[in-house]
Structure 1
Amino acid sequence: MEDNAELESFRQQWREEVTRRSKPRPAPHATPISTAPPPVRLPPTRHEASHRKEIEEEGPPLASFDPDELAQQVGDLSVKPDEDDFSRREVSEPTSALEHFERAVEKEAEGNLGDSLSHYRKAYRVDAAVDKSYRNKHYAHVWKKPNQPAPVTPVGATQQPAEVAVVPTPELIASFADLSIPQSEPILENTPPPPCPIANVPAEVITEILRHVAMDDPSTFGRMALVCKRMAYHFAHEQHIWKQVCQGRKFGFQGMHYDFACDLLGEPIFTLGERYTPFPTGMPVEVPRPLSSWSQVFQTLPRIRFTGVYISTVNYTRPGAAAAYSNLTWDSPIHIVTYYRYLRFYPDGSVISLLTSTEPVDVVPHISKENVMAARAPAHRKHQRHPSDVGHSLSGAAESIPPIAMNTLKHGLRGRWHLASPVDASEDADTPAETWKPHSAAEKSLLSDERDLVIETEGVDPKYIYTMHLSLRSSTVPKALQAGPAPPNPSKNTKLVWKGFWSYNRLTDDWGEFGLRNDRAFVFRRVRGWGLD
């Protein structure tokens, strides 16, 4: 009798547990805006991808460069935009071996290995030494010459060559302070040069102009340093400009989120107290050690970029089917499969995630929250909408979305993001109350690096939530595009490496782990017009 009572009690507890887990969740559109952050869902264990070693994680310090090579690379710098409109351009089909090789290098840099391999094969069929022709055309001026024997000094020569003093870079830039802004070269020989309107403008006015440029677009401010030595001095010396950029919301750290600021649908979460920011404007702040300037803070500390899209190009091979009339296996085709992952972040804490085989040129200009909702709308609502509501181009003009982009954006997933906190409030008793604190020991263990990034998105089914664990890194120029043997200085915060990818089942409270065997890191690509008012 006692055993039956215990069995009945166990069954009753089991029924209550099943009922609790199977209870339907409220509809997404009916989710109320809470006054406190919801509990953070974190996977129970670390992902296998977190143990990967990124080969191109960091580049060597700039000081380790050979002076002659560094001078050559600086001389080759030019002022050009670093943004892309992702539009198709009419490109003639290559005919010679060198043109096929150049096209293969371009396709390889884009991640399209299938087309790249095809052009490589065509190039080598025509000319077996086409790679030497390519190096001689593009990189002949950067290859190191073999060591030459020291010249023999004539007996009668008494004059000693003057030694060139190596000036440290900070001292060299400081020497530009008293230089004037040079005029342009004459358009015609023996004619007066064109006037320079800002040549005689006071330094205070120049600094104010540069401040407005930096607050509008720090990338443009950086390109102005290549105009002349005077601009290079202001770029490196005016640290109060960099401080305002760092404290700003548009490009700086006030726009970073260290806890979720919205739900999966982008609706804001109202929390009690002020949101944490590492460099508040209402109190004195200092440059964190070991950094020495605000320009280094802006370039080095973890920061999500809103002026473009993060793209992960994935390639893998799979064997094809052998011909029906052949029993041989050595001539079976090998297929190269290419697909892309896209991430677009927003300053309000929301994000758009997209997995597709559509190339960037066809879909990137149209990735936005508005266009994703338009693509996922029911068919009858699409016909009822005005054409001007369908989407917007990069220039801001209303236009219809191409069918290929519309079909691709149907699979776009809305979500939210936040960075790991750069401080640990649990170890400092004097930390202000509004400082971000870890939600649990599991989150503190997972987000062990201040470069870590957590993204939660919708799943393919409403009962699932996807959780991505990424980490910000520095990316270098691909080897195929490097100008010479010396690797260039890496760009900061332009790469997102995988540390884990899971799915969470809301009904059963279970976690599933996605394999990332073929997936590669995300690389940032700036898009013209994004993030600029």
Structure 2
Amino acid sequence: MEDPNPELERFRQQWREEVSAKAQAGSKAPKAPTRGPLKFPPVSQSSAGKAPKPLNDDDDHETFQSIAALPGGRVEDDVHGGDGPLRKEPQSALEHYEAAVERENQGSLGDSLNLYRKAFRMDHAVDKKYKNKHFPPSSFPSKPTNPNPSNASATVPNPAHHSLHGPPQTLKELTARCAGVSIQPAPPLIEGMAAPPCPVSSLPREILVQVFEEVAVSDVASFVRLAQVCKHFAFMVLTEEQIWKRVCIGPESGFGGMHFEWQREVLGGPLDDEILELQDLAIVESETPKEASPIPLTKEETTELLYSAYASSWLQMYRLRPRICFNGCYISTVNYMRPGQGSATQVTWHSPIHIVTYYRYLRFFRDGTVISLLTTDEPADVVRYLTKELQEAHRGGGSSHLPSAVMQNALRGRWRLSNVTDNPEANMKDAEGDVYVETEGASKKYFYRMQLSLRSTGKAARNRKLTWQGFWSHNILTDDTAEFTLRNDKAFFFSRVKSYGAGA
């Protein structure tokens, strides 16, 4: 009996060949440990006039497409989302993530969610690895910067033809390429007329030196920054010894404002004339010539004698010779830990630890006085109030409602630098470098004495650090001296304060 529908028979034959081919390929490939191959019921001859009905697997929530719905009458290749033979299960976190993305693109949100969870449990940064593998930064072309910015001069060469990935040019090539570049002068006030010359270029050198000297006296930092203007200014800043000599000898920031002898009492008042006369008599009327102390040199004489010790350069003397800065303050930050006590009402298995932080401040003045402060307040809340006026206003607990009430604990004192008499065995250059500070104590019968040493914090920052050498408490009534331990105390570092100006 002939088949009434030859096209259906042809389709069945084609379908059987495809199923047998897939079965042979699946037997050669490694078997997946999950579900077996898909099975279809045999097609009966009685249902020749009907198309085969697909099966629905409600347990796995998978839907088979109809044969008639597939283009060319092809059955879907893999129920599990594959494009051929069954693939083996993902092992690494990246494979789970890739399978999850594939399931999500196919619409199986439940399977993709489970795979995402497994991937992130195995590696919390698997998404970054997936991004680096499939979307590396090199796959996106970098956006070139603006080759000719709007604020560039017309004489600047246009680098638009440069390759972004080409080798960098050598220094010789860059020098030869930029040799013809010139700085365009200011346009003339009237079109067609010659542009006026630079006013500073027409100044005589003598007048320019006087201008630079005034700048250096007011602010040495501004004077040094003049070297960035042009080569001529840079040469004058580095080689003009007349300016640096004025800076060194002057009292503004040089050694004319340094004190190598006590100039004030501990409380800030002037020294009595009787004490000065007794000191002079002790020098002149010594018992034997061997015990007679040498007459101290003046600051000007000492500076002249030390000129040769610093390579006969006033600039080197200003940089290297120890000195105190008045346009800021010295701050010491102390941190240490101490054990605490547990709660009396709760049972705890650990003991608390307290981190204690406090600050020491020192501000020096040109008249030989100093302000010393020990507090837990941070520098931003203290440095602006380190003035003599606020110290007197808050003495004795007055004006405690003001923000500057931190000055209630400030101590008055005096300071001086070391000299040859403090260390007779050393030469004049090495004898300098120590700072002696004496301040009032916690009560009237005590005063504190500090010995600090000026050090450098690096190659560029000179004389910006004060390290501890000793700290003592002296009893005026009994003339006893006790030394404080310096286990937790740290060095002082200089910090410039704009509100101080050039210093007081």
* Structure-2-length-normalised TM-score: 0.53
- Do the aligned partners of 2:310 and 2:317 also contact (CA within 8 Å) in 1? no
Is residue 2:487 matched to residue 1:505? no
Q: In 2 relative to 1, CA 284–491 (structure 1 residues): closer, same or farther, beyond 3 Å? A: closer
Offset of 1:249 from its aligned partner?
1.3
Is residue 2:390 matched to residue 1:371? yes
- Do the aligned partners of 2:452 and 2:469 also contact (CA within 8 Å) in 1? yes
Is residue 2:369 matched to residue 1:350? yes
1:451 corresponds in structure 2 to 433
- Do the aligned partners of 1:351 and 1:414 also contact (CA within 8 Å) in 2? yes
SS of aligned partner of 2:435:
strand
Q: In 2 relative to 1, CA 461–163 (structure 1 residues): closer, same or farther, beyond 3 Å? A: closer
Offset of 1:203 from its aligned partner?
2.4
Distance in 2 between the 1:318 and 1:236 partners? 52
Distance in 2 between the 1:530 and 1:307 partners? 6
**Deviation digits for residues 384-436 of structure 1, max 9, x if unmatched?**
xxxxxxxxxxxxxxxxx972422x101100001111015779679xx9xxxx9
Is residue 2:485 matched to residue 1:530? no
- Do the aligned partners of 2:417 and 2:433 also contact (CA within 8 Å) in 1? yes
Match for residue 324 of structure 2 among 300, 304, 313: 304
- Do the aligned partners of 1:253 and 1:277 also contact (CA within 8 Å) in 2? no
- Do the aligned partners of 1:182 and 1:199 also contact (CA within 8 Å) in 2? no
Which of structure 1's runs of 4+ aligned residues deviate more than 4 A?
Answer: 161-164, 181-186, 192-196, 272-276, 283-286, 422-428
Is residue 2:243 matched to residue 1:223? no
**Deviation digits for residues 59-114 of structure 1, max 9, x if unmatched?**
xxxxxxxxxxxxxxxxxxxxxxxxxxxxxxxxxxxxxxxxxxxxxxxxxxxxxxxx
- Do the aligned partners of 1:312 and 1:521 also contact (CA within 8 Å) in 2? yes
- Do the aligned partners of 1:183 and 1:196 also contact (CA within 8 Å) in 2? no
Look at both structures and tell me which one has the larger radius of gyration over its CA atoms: 2
SS of aligned partner of 1:520:
coil
Offset of 1:254 from its aligned partner?
1.6
Offset of 1:276 from its aligned partner?
4.4
1:200 corresponds in structure 2 to 202
Q: In 2 relative to 1, CA 218–322 (structure 1 residues): closer, same or farther, beyond 3 Å? A: same
Give % identity. Answer: 44
2:419 corresponds in structure 1 to 421
Distance in 2 between the 1:326 and 1:193 partners? 87
User: Runs of 5+ in structure 1 lacking a partner?
Assistant: 1-125, 127-160, 165-180, 187-191, 383-400, 437-446, 477-488
Amino acid at match of 1:513: E
1:212 corresponds in structure 2 to 214
1:249 corresponds in structure 2 to 251
Match for residue 469 of structure 1 among 451, 461, 480: 451
- Do the aligned partners of 1:183 and 1:199 also contact (CA within 8 Å) in 2? no
Amino acid at match of 2:498: R
Count of residue correspondences: 301
Distance in 2 between the 1:256 and 1:202 partners? 34
2:38 corresponds in structure 1 to none
Q: In 2 relative to 1, CA 257–467 (structure 1 residues): closer, same or farther, beyond 3 Å? A: same
Offset of 1:470 from its aligned partner?
0.3
Distance in 2 between the 1:304 and 1:341 partners? 17
Offset of 1:337 from its aligned partner?
1.5
Is residue 2:298 matched to residue 1:328? no
- Do the aligned partners of 2:422 and 2:431 also contact (CA within 8 Å) in 1? no
Q: In 2 relative to 1, CA 402–310 (structure 1 residues): closer, same or farther, beyond 3 Å? A: farther
Distance in 2 between the 1:413 and 1:375 partners? 11
Offset of 1:250 from its aligned partner?
1.6
- Do the aligned partners of 2:414 and 2:438 also contact (CA within 8 Å) in 1? yes
- Could you say what the CA RMSD is over the residues aligned between the two structures, in angstroms? 3.7
SS of aligned partner of 2:371:
strand
2:308 corresponds in structure 1 to 288
Offset of 1:335 from its aligned partner?
2.5
Offset of 1:265 from its aligned partner?
1.8
* Higher RCO (CA-CA < 8 Å; seq separation 6+): 1
Offset of 1:278 from its aligned partner?
3.8
* Structure-1-length-normalised TM-score: 0.51
Q: In 2 relative to 1, CA 461–472 (structure 1 residues): closer, same or farther, beyond 3 Å? A: same
**Deviation digits for residues 207-245 of structure 1, max 9, x if unmatched?**
111111111111221222233322211111101111111
Distance in 1 between the 2:267 and 2:375 partners? 21
Is residue 2:379 matched to residue 1:360? yes
**Deviation digits for residues 260-314 of structure 1, max 9, x if unmatched?**
1110121222546898444349x96661324341011011111011111000011
Distance in 2 between the 1:220 and 1:297 partners? 19
Amino acid at match of 1:308: G
Distance in 1 between the 2:348 and 2:422 partners? 64
